[in-house]
Amino acid sequence: MTSQPSHSHPQAGKGKGLIADGNVSIPSGNITDLTPHREIRELNQVKDAGTDKHDHGWRYIIELNNDAATRWFSVNMGTGIVSMLLYTLPYNGRWLYWLSIVFFALNALFFLIFFGISILRYVLYPSLFPIMITHPTQSLFLGTLPMGFATLINMLCLVCVPAWGQQAGYVALAMWIVDAVLSVFTCFGIIFIMITRRTKTKLGSMSVAWLLPSASCVVAAASGGIVAEVVPNSQIALEILVTSFILWGIGISLASMVIVIYLMRLMLHKLPPKAVIVSTFLPLFPIGEGGFGIQKLGSVAKVILPQTDILQVAASDALYKTGNITGLLFWAFGLFWLSLAVGSIARVRIFPFNLSWWAFTFPLGVYATCTSQLGQEMPSKFFAVLGAVNYHVINPSETCCLLFSHSRFYPSPLFCCGFSWRFLPCMAFLIKRCFYLLVWLFGARKEGESLRRNDLPRSRVVDCCDISTRLSALVPECLSRKTVPYV
């Protein structure tokens, strides 16, 4: 009796990209209502029948892990903003400077890895690029490429130019030109494709990721203000300044329209699913970066414009003050979205880990830079202290994202189950048991003395060589159960 072949259908929330075990699954972190359509079927046909044996290693990363092409550059954005915050904190120390260098180097390594994987992927499988560029969700994350690249340019200006001299400033200028061109093409091109493609989108399936293409211009504008400060030629700096104002106008105007649509979507269709609830922080991203960028451009205009004949000195002072006031207004606007996002997280409480957790880091990071810039320009101790407090909120989220993101990039038994707030008691249990084992091993006690009541019972005292085995077996058990097991 022959068995009929089973036909599996796409399922959302698997977090394995577009291709998983021969079937198509919706990428994690989507709010859109993706139904099977032509490009998904074509993408599924690209996979050979013989690639099932390559479900690990570099073939898995390049061929099967579709998120490596676009979505993974959000890791660069989060890591890069942490390095900038460590360098520009108002209450800084020498050790924070060196820590910012470490994050800068780590960010550069991440960018090279993700960019190299993307190049290999589309060189080895060229038919995937037109499918990805027309996909309703994956194409939006192309905006993370120039934004992640911009964080490297900013740290190059802040760290390398003072150390290496003016030549590093011209290198940063060349990199910024490439970044600005990529941002404009991403913004205009992706929005044009969204308008002209045949797939219809309902308001309820609208994703906050629509902000990413337009926000890339806002990030490029803010980065242009930083580059203009380190370029020694005042005429070139003026051209950078004017271009940055244009980019800021393009990005902020388009992002504001998308934010209005997203607010209507929330009012009519309520909060997004738990898997992507952290995406409610994303509107904070163009608002915070826009506030920081306009303040930075105003401060640069105050210095550069008097050195040229384009405007009078009074105009530069007006731009500087207008930038500060506009930055304050943007900060107030972001306060609403910050409160809304925190309230949404508090209401949901339990939500699994996925790549959308990086929506914590970069939006909060750029909002912290806007806050710190207000404290520097006004000047105000309130905003300076608040910016430092914001960093201490961002640091744990960055650490969690770095620890758990590698399970999406390269699966491992320890983190393959993801992370949820319900695992916190389990983590506390592991730390407690490890502490007891260390006390038993290294504590000062006489030979043959029994352990105290709160320590491990005598019947469960383990030998030194068996500790690692017990812990390695305990961690997967904790991650796969809601209740905490007893050792």
Amino acid, res. 190: I
Residue 52 lies in a domain: no
For residues 10 and 36, give the distance between their C-alpha atoms in angstroms, rounded to a whole number: 8
Q: What is the total count of domains within the chain?
A: 2
Per-residue pLDDT band for 355 (boundaries 50, 70, 90) equals low
Tokens (6 digits) for 272: 């997004």
Q: Within this chain, do residues 438 and 392 fall inside the same structural domain, yes or no?
A: no
| pTM (predicted TM-score) | 0.72
Taking residue 386's Cβ as centre, other Cβ atoms within 10 Å add up to 17
Name which of 135-139, 275-279, 313-317, 438-442 the model is least confident about: 438-442
pLDDT over threshold 60, residue 20: no
Name which of 86-95, 171-180, 324-333, 351-360 the model is least confident about: 351-360
Q: Within this chain, do residues 229 and 334 fall inside the same structural domain, yes or no?
A: yes
Q: Within this chain, do residues 211 and 242 fall inside the same structural domain, yes or no?
A: yes
pLDDT over threshold 80, residue 474: no
Q: Within this chain, do residues 467 and 370 fall inside the same structural domain, yes or no?
A: no
Output the pLDDT for position 171.
94
Per-residue pLDDT band for 237 (boundaries 50, 70, 90) equals very high
What tens digit of pLDDT does each residue of 477-486 get?
444 443 333 3
16/218: higher pLDDT: 218
Closest CA to 249 of 224, 227, 271: 224
316/393: higher pLDDT: 316
Output the pLDDT for position 399.
59
Per-residue pLDDT band for 236 (boundaries 50, 70, 90) equals very high
For residues 324 and 184, give the distance between their C-alpha atoms in angstroms, rounded to a whole number: 26
Residue 9 lies in a domain: no
For residues 218 and 332, give the distance between their C-alpha atoms in angstroms, rounded to a whole number: 18
Q: Within this chain, do residues 325 and 463 fall inside the same structural domain, yes or no?
A: no
For residues 39 and 421, give the distance between their C-alpha atoms in angstroms, rounded to a whole number: 36
pLDDT over threshold 90, residue 31: no
Output the pLDDT for position 349.
74
Residue 365 lies in a domain: yes
Q: Within this chain, do residues 312 and 348 fall inside the same structural domain, yes or no?
A: yes
Termini Cα distance of the chain: 49
Residue 60 lies in a domain: no
Closest CA to 219 of 186, 192, 257, 262: 186
Per-residue pLDDT band for 262 (boundaries 50, 70, 90) equals very high
Residue 14 lies in a domain: no
The enclosing domain of 299 has a CATH number of 1.50.10.150
> For residue 379, is the peptide bond before it cis, meaning its omega torsion is within 30 degrees of 0?
yes
Name which of 95-104, 215-224, 448-457 the model is least confident about: 448-457
Tell me which DSSP letter residue 126 carries: T
Residue 3 lies in a domain: no
pLDDT over threshold 80, residue 369: yes
169 and 161 in contact (C-beta within 8 Å)?
A: yes
For residues 234 and 241, give the distance between their C-alpha atoms in angstroms, rounded to a whole number: 10
294 and 370 in contact (C-beta within 8 Å)?
A: no
231 and 169 in contact (C-beta within 8 Å)?
A: yes
How many residues are present in the chain?
487
Name which of 73-77, 97-101, 154-158, 403-407 the model is least confident about: 403-407
Output the pLDDT for position 387.
84
What tens digit of pLDDT does each residue of 205-224 get?
888 889 999 999 999 999 99
10-42: buried (b, 16+ CB within 10 Å) or exposed (e) per residue? beebebbbbbbeebbbbbbbbbbebeeeebbee
48 and 151 in contact (C-beta within 8 Å)?
A: no
Q: Within this chain, do residues 469 and 389 fall inside the same structural domain, yes or no?
A: no
Output the pLDDT for position 69.
58
Percent of the chain with pLDDT over 70: 64
Last residue of a domain, one of 409, 436, 460: 409
Residues β-bridged to residue 23: 20
Percent of the chain with pLDDT over 90: 34
For residues 237 and 157, give the distance between their C-alpha atoms in angstroms, rounded to a whole number: 14
Burial of residue 466, with CB atoms counted within 10 A of its CB: 0-12 exposed, 13-18 middle, 19 or more buried: exposed
Q: Within this chain, do residues 332 and 395 fall inside the same structural domain, yes or no?
A: yes
Residue 173 contacts by C-beta under 8 Å, 6 or more apart in sequence?
A: 227, 231, 236, 240
For residues 298 and 373, give the distance between their C-alpha atoms in angstroms, rounded to a whole number: 12
Element (H, E) at 109: helix 94-124
Last residue of a domain, one of 381, 409, 437: 409
* 282 phi and psi angles, rounded to 5 deg: -60, -35
pLDDT over threshold 60, residue 468: no
Name which of 82-91, 123-132, 391-400, 412-421 the model is least confident about: 412-421
Output the pLDDT for position 258.
95
Output the pLDDT for position 448.
43
Output the pLDDT for position 347.
86
Output the pLDDT for position 443.
47
For residues 449 and 136, give the distance between their C-alpha atoms in angstroms, rounded to a whole number: 67
pLDDT over threshold 60, residue 28: no
386/91: higher pLDDT: 386
Q: Within this chain, do residues 391 and 434 fall inside the same structural domain, yes or no?
A: no
Q: Within this chain, do residues 432 and 403 fall inside the same structural domain, yes or no?
A: no
Output the pLDDT for position 354.
62
For residues 412 and 431, give the distance between their C-alpha atoms in angstroms, rounded to a whole number: 21
334 and 288 in contact (C-beta within 8 Å)?
A: yes
Closest CA to 355 of 447, 256, 282, 428: 282
What tens digit of pLDDT does each residue of 381-390 get?
899 888 888 7
* 115 phi and psi angles, rounded to 5 deg: -70, -40
Q: Within this chain, do residues 449 and 385 fall inside the same structural domain, yes or no?
A: no
Per-residue pLDDT band for 326 (boundaries 50, 70, 90) equals very high
- Domain of 355, in residue numbers: 77-93+141-409
Residue 415 lies in a domain: no
3-state secondary structure of 171: helix
Residue 192 lies in a domain: yes
Q: Angle at CA 218, nearest 5°, toward 320 and 356?
A: 135
Per-residue pLDDT band for 7 (boundaries 50, 70, 90) equals very low
The pLDDT mean for the chain works out to 74
Q: Within this chain, do residues 356 and 441 fall inside the same structural domain, yes or no?
A: no
What tens digit of pLDDT does each residue of 142-198 get?
999 999 999 999 999 999 999 898 889 999 999 999 999 999 999 999 999 988 876
Taking residue 372's Cβ as centre, other Cβ atoms within 10 Å add up to 24
What tens digit of pLDDT does each residue of 100-109 get?
899 999 999 9
